[in-house]
Every structure is written in C-alpha cells, then in structure tokens.
Amino acid sequence: MDKIEQVKKEMLSKKVWAVVGATPDSEKFGYKIYKKLKDHGYTVYGVNPKYESLDGDRLYSSLKDLPEKPECIDMVVNPKVTKSTLTEIKELGIEYVWFQPGTFDEDIIDMAEEDGLQIVYYDCVLVALGNGH
C-alpha cells in the first residue's frame, strides 16, 4: 500500500472533520462532501466566512472558531485560500489534510510537506466514501 493510500485509510478512520469551503449551494463540492461525511457518521464542521449555515448547521468563519479541534481538514477552496488556511492548520497542530482536486498547487504541497502534514491530494473524498446517493 503506498503512502497516500495509507494516509487516506488513517484519515477515514478519524471521526472529527472540518470542511473548509462548505457551502449551502447543493450543486457544489463543498456541500456534497460535507453531507457525505455527515451521512457516514462523521462529526463535521463547515468553515466558510461567506455563509452562516448549511442545512441548519452553523458554519464557522475559521478553523480557530470551531468548538473542538478537528482531526482532519478537507480543503474545498481555491489555492489562495488553501494557502492561508495552511498557516492556521499549522498553528492549531492539525495533522491530516485532504486537498480536493483544484484546491492546491505545487507550492501548497511543498508547504504542507515542510510542515510535516499527512496529506492526500488528487483524490476526492466523495469517491473514497463511495458514490452511492
């Protein structure tokens, strides 16, 4: 099993997640991933300063505002936002970060590796959890 598969398995066994870029727009990945994690029994916090709630759940404006420290972060934002969030992830001492396709560039992967984060990228959480609706 390669490193990413191993990390992916570890991440999916963690129970508290934050989805950065969670959105009430049901067409978007930020919504679908949030819902999929919840449907699979994870504790999920949505982070998006632009919205207040998603299906009645409170959305938070930053990781620092969450009521507990998530074990995994799923990034569903553009690379610019991902970059600033990485700083916060490091400060909070969160180890696992899942970069959805389109949320990162090489710099970001280098940064994450320098920070010693356990990362998954090029993979989609929706696929990992199965696409059944």
Catalogue all structural domains in the chain, each as residue range(s) with its CATH number.
3-128 (3.40.50.720)
Distance CA 94, CA 117 (A): 8
Alpha-carbon separation of residue 125 from 30, 81, 122, 130 (angstroms): 11, 19, 10, 8
pLDDT in tens, 9-67: 999 999 999 999 999 999 999 999 999 999 999 999 999 999 999 999 999 999 999 99
Quick check: 47 and 73 in contact, CB under 8 A?
Answer: no
Residue 79, Cβ density class (10 Å: 0-12 exposed, 13-18 middle, ≥19 buried):
middle
Q: How confident is the model at residue 131 (pLDDT cuts 50, 70, 90)?
A: low
Q: How confident is the model at residue 123 (pLDDT cuts 50, 70, 90)?
A: confident
**Structure token digits, residue 62:** 């930053």
